Amino acid sequence: MIKAQGITKTIEGKLLFENVTFNIYSDNCIGLLGPNGCGKTTLFKILLGLQQPSFGEIWRKDNLRIRYLDQIPISSIDKTVNDFFIRTAPLDNIQQKIREYEKQLENPDIYNSERYNDILERLTKLKISANRTDSSLRWEAASRILNEIKMNDLSPTKKTSDLSGGERQKIALASVLALPKECDLLLLDEPTNHLDIETIEWLESQIVDFPQAVMIVSHDRYLLDRLIDKVFEIDNQHLERYNATYEEFEEQKRLRTHIKIQAYKKYKSELQRQKKVIATMSRRNKYDLQIASKMKRLAKMQRVENPVLKSYLLRFSFKSIFKSGKNVAEGHNLEKQFSNKVILDHANFEILAGQKIGLIGPNGCGKTTLLKMLIGEKVPDMGNLYVSSGVKSGYFDQGHLSLKMDNNLIDELRRDNSELSENDAKALLGQFNFRGDIVKNQVGQLSGGERARLAILRLILQPYNFLLLDEPTNHMDMDSKKAVEGALNSYSGTVIAVSHDRRFLDMFADTIFLMDEGIIKIYTGNYSSFCLQRQRDLTNLSDSNLAYLSRTGIKKYVVHKAFTIWTTKTKHKVGEEVFIGEHNEKLYEWAIINRFLRPVENIERNS
């Protein structure tokens, strides 16, 4: 469908990538990976024709229909939901013809030709037709998708300014996933932004069933591991291709890096040997023709880059002061309500010193509100909330509101650390990959991932014994996420982190707080352990449970073909019974559709 040959892209003198070559075929599901700022979104825009490569060529199949999910899909120019659907009509045959006519109108000579009025008339009709047919048909199809993710009351005339980030993302996803047969290639740029875990797992099932080619930019490692069969990684301004799942890619990359390190060591050894030979010969006879010959040979040696130095490795640790006492915080019969929405309804919990808690739940359930209660920014309507007097809290807010957007990076780092010299601030910023003139930029000019790194850097400079983190890995690339995980694992204090990143929750959490419908359920272990416990709750059935199961519509399935739920690393063997209800149906939807699971019986209603 698409062939890229020798693509190079430079923006304002900065080389993003060079000599990039690849093919995209109709059955591919490709993960486009690389650190923040390496040019992934730019490459998407080149594929779309919205930008041109500096060098190289792109070939596209005739009448190729591409749909694109932007990182910020609904912008300020979309006053209503319907405005968004009209503006983002897919690049189908009508859209392709519109682009062709618009390109003809870019030629100044066309205005004096007889064809001008004809082209203008055709273009106007095509635009009217595209807006009328495409937006209405896609709205109808998208509405059916929105019903699946609990947005069935959405009106096309609803103002986009009244939508949350999660609602905007769901609408944009419904738009690009609607009428899949009218799309040849689906480009998704950070599709899980603002989504809760339930919706992410729903999205995975949608992409599994999507009949056309898909290319995804994402830092969600479990999503990638379930979906992709190829990896394109932009690494040090080059594109590396892997025919692999994400898990296989990580192993293959380790092997490639090892080979590169060995090649670099061999190159350095030969370089040193040649230099020693030349130095010895020079001492004996500096005009020897052999010296000139060896100098030429040395100059012609192909340079091998140090793969370790070329990689950006972020490592850091959080400081921790004196222990806070055994009980860091306790909540008893907490109640909280906003307007008519109940956030907490007689909720109880206990946070112990040294615990690493993952706080999960659907969007809007009150996770951020709970964190703000724990730092004293909000208070419960009823009940008792106790926070130990020995606690010193550090808070990471997902909107990075603690950062002063008008400050440059050096001033922002020194704002609460006046003893920090400018040179020390620069050195610390350099460790977090803020180098060169960027340290003089205003914080407001940074990307989301860069702001997250800066906010983390500000946190590690203070000695806190209780960290409250609201979506700390949002917008972060893979290496930055791994660095945060490592720092939290070595941190001796207490952590409670809101996150929808299942791998992150698996790597750092030893306890899961599930917040939903006003209560907090507590599970020991990481996210995978939480999923297993939820499953076991259903499989340990007694006769007294049957009435409950019948009321909740839970069904029993048997494993027909062995499979693994990659999001939880749960393996299911042939013949095993699995109980599926509303709480986990999205997790197993793809297994049911692909007949890995077959229904045994609907549990009879007790009369």
Q: Which of 184-188, 344-348, 436-440 has the lowest mean pLDDT?
A: 436-440
Q: Does an H or E element contain 81, and which? A: helix 81-87
**CA distances (Å), origin 306, targets 264, 311, 358, 404:** 6, 9, 38, 37
Q: How far is 560 from 572, CA to CA, in rounded Å?
A: 10
- Same domain? For 32 and 174 the reply is yes
pLDDT at 289: 64
| Residue 542 reports pLDDT greater than 60 | no
Q: Which of 50-64, 139-153, 573-587 has the lowest mean pLDDT?
A: 573-587
Tell me the pLDDT band of 232, cut-offs 50, 70 and 90. Answer: very high
Tell me if 134 sits within 8 A of 128, measured CB to CB: no
Got the DSSP string for 96-159? HHHHHHHHHHTSGGGGGSTHHHHHHHHHHHHHHHIIIIIHHHHHHHHHHHHHHTT-TT--TTSB
- Same domain? For 481 and 451 the reply is yes
* Per-residue pLDDT tens over the stretch 147-179: 888 887 788 888 888 888 888 899 889 888 988
Of these ranges, 109-113, 161-165, 296-300, 421-425, the one predicted with the greatest mean pLDDT is: 421-425
Q: How far is 250 from 480, CA to CA, in rounded Å?
A: 16
Q: How far is 448 from 457, CA to CA, in rounded Å?
A: 14
| Residue 115 reports pLDDT greater than 80 | no
Of 223, 190, 2, nearest in space to 91 by CA: 2
**Domain boundary, last residue among 231, 248, 265:** 248
Our CA angle for 161, 167, 170, nearest 5°, is 130
**CA distances (Å), origin 536, targets 339, 427, 516, 529:** 37, 50, 20, 10
- Same domain? For 216 and 288 the reply is no
Got the DSSP string for 384-434? EEEE-TT--EEEE-TT-TTS-TTSBHHHHHHTT-TTS-HHHHHHHHHHTT-
- Same domain? For 171 and 261 the reply is no
As given in the structure block, the two tokens for residue 249 are 């890619």
Average pLDDT, the chain: 83
Contacts of 399 (CB under 8 A, 6+ apart): none
**Domain boundary, last residue among 498, 525, 552:** 525
**Domain boundary, last residue among 525, 555, 572:** 525
Indicate the SS3 state at residue 557: strand
Average pLDDT over residues 69-97: 71
Tell me if 231 sits within 8 A of 244, measured CB to CB: yes
- Same domain? For 238 and 385 the reply is no
As given in the structure block, the two tokens for residue 10 are 């430079």
| Residue 607 reports pLDDT greater than 50 | no
**CA distances (Å), origin 77, targets 84, 344, 388:** 8, 36, 48
* Per-residue pLDDT tens over the stretch 9-27: 999 888 999 999 999 999 9
Of 591, 568, 594, nearest in space to 223 by CA: 568
Indicate the SS3 state at residue 188: strand
Q: Does residue 62 lie in a domain region?
A: yes
Q: Does residue 204 lie in a domain region?
A: yes
- Same domain? For 573 and 586 the reply is yes
Tell me the pLDDT band of 604, cut-offs 50, 70 and 90. Answer: very low
* Per-residue pLDDT tens over the stretch 431-490: 787 888 888 889 988 877 788 889 888 888 888 999 999 999 888 888 888 888 988 888
Q: Does residue 47 lie in a domain region?
A: yes
Contacts of 206 (CB under 8 A, 6+ apart): 145, 173, 177
- Same domain? For 174 and 48 the reply is yes
Our CA angle for 539, 543, 545, nearest 5°, is 60
Of 359, 354, 333, 335, nearest in space to 522 by CA: 359
Q: How many CB atoms lie within 10 A of CB 302?
A: 5
As given in the structure block, the two tokens for residue 380 are 């419960």
- Same domain? For 508 and 536 the reply is no
Q: How far is 112 from 97, CA to CA, in rounded Å?
A: 22
Longest dimension (CA), the chain: 106
Q: Does residue 438 lie in a domain region?
A: yes
| Residue 380 reports pLDDT greater than 90 | yes
Q: How many CB atoms lie within 10 A of CB 248?
A: 15
- Same domain? For 138 and 285 the reply is no
Percent of the chain whose predicted confidence (pLDDT) is above 70: 85
**CA distances (Å), origin 238, targets 2, 261, 513:** 19, 17, 42
Contacts of 19 (CB under 8 A, 6+ apart): 6, 7, 8, 56, 238
Our CA angle for 28, 37, 482, nearest 5°, is 80
pTM over 0.95: no
Strands (DSSP E) contained in 415-509 are 466-470, 494-498
Q: Does residue 340 lie in a domain region?
A: yes
Q: Which domain holds residue 281?
A: 256-310
- Same domain? For 124 and 35 the reply is yes
Taken in order 257, 263, 269, 272, the sign of the CA dihedral is: negative
How many Cα neighbours within 13 Å face the side chain of 216?
A: 31
Q: Which of 203-212, 501-510, 527-536 has the lowest mean pLDDT?
A: 527-536
Average pLDDT over residues 490-516: 92
Q: Give the CATH number of the domain where residue 418 resides.
A: 3.40.50.300
Q: How many domains does the chain have?
A: 4
- Same domain? For 98 and 198 the reply is yes
Average pLDDT over residues 212-240: 93
Q: Does residue 149 lie in a domain region?
A: yes
| Residue 603 reports pLDDT greater than 70 | no
pLDDT at 224: 93
Average pLDDT over residues 355-378: 93
Q: Does an H or E element contain 259, and which? A: helix 246-284
Q: How far is 399 from 408, CA to CA, in rounded Å?
A: 18
Strands 29-33 and 213-217: parallel
Of these ranges, 82-96, 375-389, 435-449, the one predicted with the greatest mean pLDDT is: 375-389
pLDDT at 138: 72
Got the DSSP string for 30-68? EEEE--TTSSHHHHHHHHHTSS--SEEEEEE-TT--EEE
pLDDT at 257: 85
Q: Does residue 206 lie in a domain region?
A: yes
* Per-residue pLDDT tens over the stretch 269-292: 888 887 887 777 776 665 566 666
Q: Does residue 368 lie in a domain region?
A: yes
- Same domain? For 127 and 242 the reply is yes
